Structure 1
Amino acid sequence: MIRYFKVRNYGSIRDERVLDMEATDDATLEDYYCVTARDAERREPVRLLKLAVLYGPNASGKSTVLEALEAFRDLHLQPNQKKHEEIGVYNPFLFDGRSGGEPTELELDFFVKDRDSGDYVEYRYTVKFDRRYILEERLLHWPNHREAEVFSRTTDLDAELSRISWGSTVKDDQKYKDGLELHTIPNVTVLGAYSGVNARIDALEKVSAWMRERWMPGIGPKTRLFEWAKRQIRNEEGGRAILRELINKADFHINDFDVVEEDAPTEALKKLLDAFGREDDRREGIKDAKMLRADFEHTVRHQGEERRYTLSERRESGGTRRFVGLGAVIQKMILGHRDLATIDEVETSLHVDLLKHYILVFLRNTGESQLICTTHDVSLLRERDMLREDAVWFTEKQDDGTTDLFCLSDFDSRTFRKGSSIYNAYMNGKLGAKPNLGSAHIDKTGLDD
C-alpha cells in the first residue's frame, strides 16, 4: 500500500508535489478507510488511507498525477530493450524555458505485506531520469525495524555504464548482483533490468512482484475495461458470484451473465489479415482467432408475470459495460488478487448514485486495497458520511502553468471549519481549484450577416 508519492518535473507538475496516503489523526470512518501498518521504526502504527479522490478544473493536472504514478510503474514493468532508446515516459514541464532539459524525479514510499507472516515491510524507491538515461536510483527498506539501503545506482554518462552499490543487508549471491549490473543498461531501471535476468535477489523480487501482481495498470475513460473484465470472468470462476451480486444491486434488471467464446466476425478478421503481408507467419494463427462475448440475462415483469430475456453485450448500454468493468476491479480486490487501482474520471458513463454506490462497495468490502481516482462529480462532496477530509484532494493550475496539489485537510479553520459542508465551501470558491470562467457573451462584431 502506498504511503506517499512524490513527483517533480513531470507534465504540468514542475515543483515537487506530494500525494500523501497517510491518514491524519481524524477518526472519521476509521473502520472503512484506514489500514494499519508499521512505521519505519515500528514505534507506532502507520494508518494508510484506502481512498483518495482528486478534484479540479479541466487541464489543472488531476490526470497528470495519475499519469506520473503510471510512469513510475512503467519504468519498471515495461523497460526499454535497446541501449539507445529514449525513455518514453519522460515528460518534463515545458513552460519556463529550462525545465524541459532537466530530469524528472519520482519517489514512492509503500508497504508490502508478507503473505505468510502478515508483517509489513516499508520500501522507498526513488528514481531520477531524463530523456536518455536513468541518472540516479535508490531503494531503501526497513527490515529488522531500521532503515537499510537495498541498492543505489548511478550512471556514468560518458561511458554509458551503470554502477550499482548494494547495501549490507542484501546477502544474495554476488554472481546475481554482478549479472544484474551487466544487464542494467543506462536507460533501464535496476528493477526493469531485474525482470529480464535469470537471478533472484530477495528484496527486488518482493518489490517486483508487488508492482507486477498487486498494482493494476491505470484506467481511464477510454480504457477497454469491459474487454478486460470478460477475460477475468472467463478465467476466474470463483469471482463470478461477486460480480453477479454487484451487477444485481446496480439496478440494471440483470440477474445473470455468461461469457462465451466465438469466432471472430468475418469482416473484422479480413481487415486484420489484410494488415499483415502475405508472407507474414502470423497470418496462420489469426485465421483461427476467437473472441469473447458476454450475454446478460434480464428479468422484466409483464402484466404481473416475470419473464427473462437474454441480450448480447452489443445491446447493453455503455454505462452497463463500464460498470461491469469497474466491478471486475473490485472483484479482484475482494479476492485479494490486486491491491492498488488508479482510475481517471471514475464517473465516466455512471449515474451519480451508481458512482456513490461503487465507492461505498469498495470501502466496505475490500481489505488492504487502495483506490486513487479523479472526478468532476462535485455532488460527491455532499456525502459527509462517505468522504474523509484527508481523502479529498485538489489540483489547481497556477498563472505560470504549473500544477499545485493540495488536500482538504491542509486548510486551517479560518478557511474551512472541520465538519462543515465540503460542497458549499468548494462551490463558493473558498477551496480554490475551480475554473475561472469568463462571460458567456460572444462578441459578434464584424461577423457577416
Structure 2
Amino acid sequence: MIINFSIKNFRSIKDKITLSFEPENSGALEDYYIIEPVPGLKLLKLGLIYGPNGSGKSTILKGLDFLMMLVKRPLQQKNTQLDFSPFLFDEKTPNEESGFEISFVHGGVKYNYLVNFTREAILYEKLEFYEPNKALVYERTTDREKQLSSIKFGGKIKVKKTAVDALEANTLWNTTVLSGFLKTNIDSTELKNVTDWFEKVLATTITPELDLSKFITPQLGKKKINKHHILQFLKKADFKISDLIVKKKELHVNEEMKELVKMFMRQVQKSGIEGDIDMDKLEKNELYFQHSIKSGDQISTYMLPYDEVSDGTQRYYQFSGILDIMIGHGSVFPIDELESSLHPDLVKHFLLLFLVNAKKSQLIATTHYRELLMEKDILRNDAIWFTEQKEDGSTDLFSLSDFDSSVVRDTTSVFNAYKSGKLGAVPVLSDYYLDFKDEKQQ
C-alpha cells in the first residue's frame, strides 16, 4: 500500500508535490477507510482527485505509470532516451533533474524509494527499508561522463561482490537498479520484495480508452477471477444479467501471419522477455451476457455478445473484475476519469462496494463527478484532493483537509463550496459572447 507519492519536474508538475495516504486525526468512517498494514501505521484506502481539465490530475497517475515502467520495462540500449517531458514552461526545468519518491508497505515492511533522472540517464537512486528503524538497502550514483553506474549496499544487506558486479553490469546508465535486478541471477530479499510490489500490487492506470475486458475475460475463463462474484456485483448494481458465458473460438491463421508472429516473438525474446505462442492453438475468448427476461409466468433467457451491450455495462463489468481482484488480493489501482460511461449512482455504488469489502487494497481515481461531494456520509476530507494550474502553468496539489475551519466546517456543504469556487480547482470561465469583428476585417 502506498504511504506517500511525490513528483517533481514531470510534465505539468514543476515543483515537488506529494499525494499522501496518511490520514488526519479523525475517526470519521474509520472502519471503512483505514487500514493498518504494519502496527502503528494507518493508511487511507481511497484518494479522489478533482480539478479542471489541464490542471494535472492525470499527470499524477501518469507519474505512477512511468515509475512502474522504469522498474518493469527498462530501456535496452544505453543511447536511448527516456520517453517523458520535464516541465517545459520554464527556461531552467527542461535541463534539470526530474524525480519520484514513493513510500509503501509490502509484506509487512515499509520501503522508501527515490529516483532522480533526466531524459538521458538515471542519475541517482536510493532504497531504504524500516524493520523497524530506517536502514539503507542500496544507493546508486551515475558517472555522466563515463555513462556508468555505481551501486553501494547498506551495512545490513549481505550481498557478495560478485553479485554487486553482476548487478552493475546489468544496470545501464539509463535504467534503474530494480530493473537490473529483474534480469540478474542474484538473491536479495529486499530487492525481490520491492520489485514484487511493482509487478504484482501496483496496477497500470485504467483509462476510459483501456478495454480491460481483454484481461478480465481470459481470467474469468481460467477461473482466476470469480464469476459468481462478478455476477453478484452486476446484480447488486441492477444489471439484469443472470450468467456470464465465456466461449473459446479458434483462430485460423495463414502461413504468412504465422511467420509474422514468429518474427515478433523472436524480437520479444531478444529483449529479455520470456514467452512463446503455440501457433496451432490460437484462440480468442468471446464473452456473452445471459439475460433472464420474465414475460407473464414464463422466464426466457437471451444471450448478448459483449460488443453489443452498452458502454456503461461494459465499463461496470470491467470494474467488477477489478473489484474482485481488490477484494481478494492486496492491490493498488489507479483509475483515470472514474465516472466515464457510468451513471452517478453506479459510481457511488462501486466506491461503497470497494470501501466496505476491500480490506487491503487502495484506489486512486481522478474524477469530475462533483455531485459525489454531496455524500458526506461516505467521504472523508483527507481522501479528497484537488489540482489546479498555478500562474506559471504548473500543477498545484492540495487536500480538502488542508483548509482550516474558516473555509470548511463540519456543517459546510463541500459540493457548494467547490461549485462556487471557494476551494479553487475549477475552470475560470469567461462570458458567452464572441467577437469576430477582427476576422471580418481581415
- Asked whether the two chains share a fold, i.e. TM above 0.5, the reply is yes
Return closer, same or farther for 1:295/1:326 CA change in 2, 3 Å cut-off: same
Structure 1 Cα separation of the partners of residues 378 and 43 of structure 2: 16
- After the TM superposition, which residues 347-386 of structure 1 pair with which residues of structure 2 at under 5 Å, given as runs? 347-386=339-378
- After the TM superposition, which residues 11-410 of structure 1 pair with which residues of structure 2 at under 5 Å, given as runs? 11-38=11-38, 45-88=40-83, 90-113=84-107, 120-143=108-131, 145-237=132-224, 239-264=226-251, 289-336=282-329, 338-410=330-402
The answer to whether residue 404 in structure 2 is matched with residue 412 in structure 1 is: yes
* RMSD over aligned Cα atoms: 2.2
Structure 2 Cα separation of the partners of residues 278 and 25 of structure 1: 56
Structure 1 Cα separation of the partners of residues 16 and 438 of structure 2: 47
Structure 2 Cα separation of the partners of residues 176 and 199 of structure 1: 6
The Cα shift of 1:289 comes to 3.3
Return closer, same or farther for 1:80/1:246 CA change in 2, 3 Å cut-off: same
Return closer, same or farther for 1:391/1:281 CA change in 2, 3 Å cut-off: closer
- Asked if the contact 1:232/1:328 (under 8 Å) is kept, the reply is no
- Asked if the contact 1:298/1:310 (under 8 Å) is kept, the reply is yes
Structure 2 Cα separation of the partners of residues 68 and 237 of structure 1: 29
Structure 2 Cα separation of the partners of residues 63 and 167 of structure 1: 36
Amino acid at match of 2:284: M
Structure 2 Cα separation of the partners of residues 216 and 277 of structure 1: 30
- Asked if the contact 2:46/2:363 (under 8 Å) is kept, the reply is yes
Structure 2 Cα separation of the partners of residues 237 and 217 of structure 1: 19
Structure 1 Cα separation of the partners of residues 260 and 221 of structure 2: 32
Structure 2 Cα separation of the partners of residues 339 and 281 of structure 1: 31
TM-score (norm 2): 0.92
Please identify, of 121-130 and 165-174, the stretch whose mean Cα deviation from structure 2 is larger.
Answer: 165-174
Return closer, same or farther for 1:282/1:190 CA change in 2, 3 Å cut-off: closer
Structure 2 Cα separation of the partners of residues 151 and 186 of structure 1: 16
The Cα shift of 1:140 comes to 0.6
- Give the SS at the match of 1:136: strand
Structure 1 Cα separation of the partners of residues 333 and 118 of structure 2: 27
- Asked if the contact 2:45/2:361 (under 8 Å) is kept, the reply is yes
Structure 1 Cα separation of the partners of residues 300 and 284 of structure 2: 29
Structure 2 Cα separation of the partners of residues 275 and 429 of structure 1: 58
**Identity among equivalent pairs (%):** 36
Amino acid at match of 1:372: I
- Give the SS at the match of 2:412: coil
Structure 1 Cα separation of the partners of residues 421 and 262 of structure 2: 63
The Cα shift of 1:171 comes to 1.5
Return closer, same or farther for 1:293/1:48 CA change in 2, 3 Å cut-off: same
The Cα shift of 1:275 comes to 11
- Asked if the contact 2:216/2:225 (under 8 Å) is kept, the reply is no
Task: List alignment gaps of at least 5 residues for structure 1.
Answer: 114-119
- Give the SS at the match of 1:254: coil
Amino acid at match of 1:29: L
Structure 2 Cα separation of the partners of residues 376 and 394 of structure 1: 11
- Asked if the contact 1:176/1:201 (under 8 Å) is kept, the reply is no
Structure 2 Cα separation of the partners of residues 305 and 273 of structure 1: 51
- Asked if the contact 1:50/1:363 (under 8 Å) is kept, the reply is yes
